[in-house]
Amino acid sequence: MQARTRYSVVLVSSVVLFLVYRQWLQGSVPGHGQNLNENIKLQYDHLHTYVTWTERDSSEYEYDLHASPKQRRQSRTNLYKNRKCRMDTCFDQAKCSDTFKVYVYPVHGKISESYSKILTSIRNSRYFTSNPDEACVFVPSIDTLDRDILSHEYVTDAQSKLTKLPYWNGGRNHLIFNLYSGTWPEYSEDLGFDIEQAILAKASFTKQSFRPGFDISLPLFGKSHPQKGGPRGDLQTNNFPVIRKFLLAFKGKRYLSGIGSDTRNALYHLHNGYDIILLTTCRHGKDWQKIKDVRCDRDNAEYEKHDYQILLHNSTFCLVPRGRRLGSFRFLESLQAACIPVILSNGWELPFSEVIDWKKTSIEGDERLLLQIPSILRSVSDEQILSLRQQTQFVWDAYFSSVEKIVTTTLQIIQDRLQNPRSAFMWNHPPGALAVFTDFAGSHSAFPFYTSVLGEEACEKFTAVISVSSPILSQSAPVMKLIKSVSKSAYAAQYMYVLYAYTA
């Protein structure tokens, strides 16, 4: 009898506990205002959603997916002991109070063709000075472009050579150029020397290592990139049809192993042989046949069927996946060909990102969401395609078509940090910031090529440019009478520029 009573008590208690628990889940118990569905929703709110890259926060892609833990440690320690350098902490702005001049150290010994083009561009620019006492920025003559220890252009003992420069001063006010860092197999950002407090202008810059407002991200350009001038963009007037023969194209190496191989090895999933043409070849390197996979022979055969230039000029979008390093030659090639770049290189600080709005020129994807690319590209409207395509031609012609323009843009960015900065509008609208001199006028309305974009009417007054071939020796000289007459005109602008073209 007692045992039956005990079992009854246990059963009743269990039923009561179950009812209380059920009421708590339904929110009927005081102090618990959320029902079961709300609890589940709260739990799922903490999970990441797999949406397109255009809908996600860009901060999620700030890291190179392929970097090893060792590389990340190196980027935090070896590369920069002055990780927190900014223009107001590691740069002597007093040297630039009056003018912005750049001094190039005398060259001793052999330098690469590309670095020679860079130094020549500086010497031929309006920024150059041969007097170090006038200089705001100093550029070493030591070739630091290629820091791959396996390269024949690698300069040994760079650290010692830099510290021996007479004006080095811990790197303050110095500008270091670099295109290639690290070597096989990790291709880290380690330059093999400490840049100390110098500004680093570098290709394949990671967002993690980049010092905003101090360093400058460069495009990767080849040895054949022209010194000056350079070809114009290939668009010309052939803007129609809006959708070209191919939606998306790529032709390049497929790395069978090592850093950068994951993305390129997966491109075959998107290739359909119709409007998406993504071609890769295993045929590179000395030992590719020893490690080739089952797809190599088929990929190599397909690779030879298409001409790269034809693909470039007949595709609406061009894929720009990372290579061994984050930057790729495909980036500039796409811009020149008016093929809208689709960038697959997580963690890459895009070239001149401080001033160029790349959202107006390219589509930045996520390597982890590779399979979403076709649907995203098909959703881009004709109007957006035309705008993106035209902007590729503008940025190519204005900032990338020659080494001279790349170098001038680099120097102009530094000057803008110090004196009379150009607006983002000027940088991202034709004719570009390099054609605008804010020393003489700071407002957009002072420049006639902005009036139509801003919806303003052009000024009816004019600027007189008078070329003088001999010195003005007196106020009664004929040219002075001309200047006075022009200045009295009601149609003359406030400023009149006189070009003195005196030759001895």
Q: Domain count for the chain, please give it.
A: 4
Could you tell me which residues come within 8 angstroms of residue 187 by beta carbon, excluding any fewer than 6 positions away? 181, 259, 260, 324, 325
Neighbour-count burial for 201-237, b at 16+ CB within 10 Å, e otherwise:
bbbbbbbbbbbeebbbbbbbbeeebebeebeebbbee
Q: Characterize 299-324 residue by residue with b for buried, 16 or more Cβ atoms within 10 angstroms of its Cβ, and e for exposed.
A: bbebbeeeeeeebbbbbbbbbbbbbb
* CA–CA gap between residue 226 and residue 217 (Å, rounded): 20
Residue 189 DSSP symbol: S
Burial label, 477 (beta-carbon count in 10 A; 0-12, 13-18, 19+) = middle
Which H helix or E strand runs over 230?
Answer: none
Amino acid making up residue 388: L
The CA distance from 124 to 103, in Å, is: 12
Distance CA 413, CA 212 (A): 12
pLDDT of residue 332: 97
Q: Which amino acid is at 208?
A: Q
**Rounded CA gap, 423 and 275, in Å?**
40
Note the pLDDT of residue 374.
95
pLDDT tens track of the chain, all 504 residues? 566 676 676 677 777 777 766 666 554 433 444 443 333 333 333 333 333 444 444 444 455 555 555 555 555 554 456 778 999 999 999 999 889 999 999 998 889 999 999 999 999 999 999 999 999 999 999 999 999 888 899 899 999 999 999 999 999 999 999 999 987 777 788 898 999 999 999 999 999 999 999 999 999 999 999 999 889 988 876 677 888 999 999 999 887 777 777 888 889 889 999 999 999 988 776 766 666 778 888 888 898 999 999 999 999 999 999 888 899 999 999 999 999 999 999 999 999 999 999 999 999 999 899 999 999 999 999 999 999 999 999 999 999 999 999 999 999 999 999 998 999 999 999 999 998 877 666 667 667 777 777 776 666 677 777 777 777 667 777 877 777 777 777 777 655 555 555 444
Q: Would 389 be classed as within a structural domain?
A: yes
Are 179 and 273 members of one domain?
Answer: no
> Cα–Cα–Cα angle for 242, 237, 409, nearest 5°?
100
Of the residues 218, 238, 273, the one at which a domain ends: 218
Query: Which of 218, 235, 267 is the last residue before a domain boundary?
Result: 218
DSSP string of 255-278, one letter each residue: -SSSTTHHHHHTGGGT--SSSEEE
Neighbours of 268 (CB within 10 A): 15
Do 88 and 167 have their domain in common? Answer: yes
The answer to whether residue 70 is domain-embedded is no
pLDDT at 164: 95
Same-domain check for residues 370 and 471: no
C-alpha span between 321 and 255 (Å, rounded): 12
Closest CA to 81 of 196, 212, 208, 206: 196
The answer to whether 497 touches 446, Cβ cutoff 8 Å, is no
Identify whether residues 165 and 282 lie together within a single domain.
no
What DSSP element (H or E) covers 188?
A: none
Q: Could you tell me if 261 and 393 lie in one domain?
A: yes
Could you tell me if 303 and 210 lie in one domain? no
User: Do 211 and 138 share a domain, yes or no?
Assistant: yes
Structural domain of 291: 246-400
Q: Are residues 188 and 304 in the same domain?
A: no
The tokens for 399 are 């900032």
- The secondary structure element, H or E, covering residue 76 is helix 69-76
pLDDT for res 149: 87
413 falls within a domain? no
Query: What pLDDT is recorded for position 32?
Result: 40
Same domain, 94 and 41: no
Peptide bond between residue 132 and the one before it cis (omega within 30 degrees of 0): no
In a domain, 455, yes or no: no
Degrees, nearest 5: CA angle 422-425-429: 110
Shared-domain flag, residues 186 and 262: no
Residue 159 lies in a domain: yes
DSSP 136-150: SEEE-SS--SEE-TT
CA distance 148 to 182: 5
Domain membership of residue 252 (yes or no) is yes
Is the separation of the CB atoms in 472 and 498 below 8 Å?
A: no
pLDDT for position 427: 96
Residue 93 within a domain:
yes
Distance (Å, rounded) from C-alpha 449 to C-alpha 457? Answer: 11
Among 381, 400, 419, give the residue marking a domain's end.
400
Measured in degrees and rounded to the nearest 5, phi and psi for residue 438 equal -80, 0
- 229 near 295, Cβ under 8 Å? no
Q: Are residues 96 and 39 located together in one domain of the fold?
A: no
- How many C-beta atoms lie closer than 10 Å to residue 295's C-beta? 15
384 and 255 co-located in one domain: yes
Supply 116's token pair: 């020679």
Q: Which of 194, 192, 182, 159 is nearest to 80 (CA)?
A: 194
CATH number at residue 369: 3.40.50.2000
Give the predicted TM-score (pTM) of the model. Answer: 0.78
* Residue 476 domain-assigned (yes or no): yes
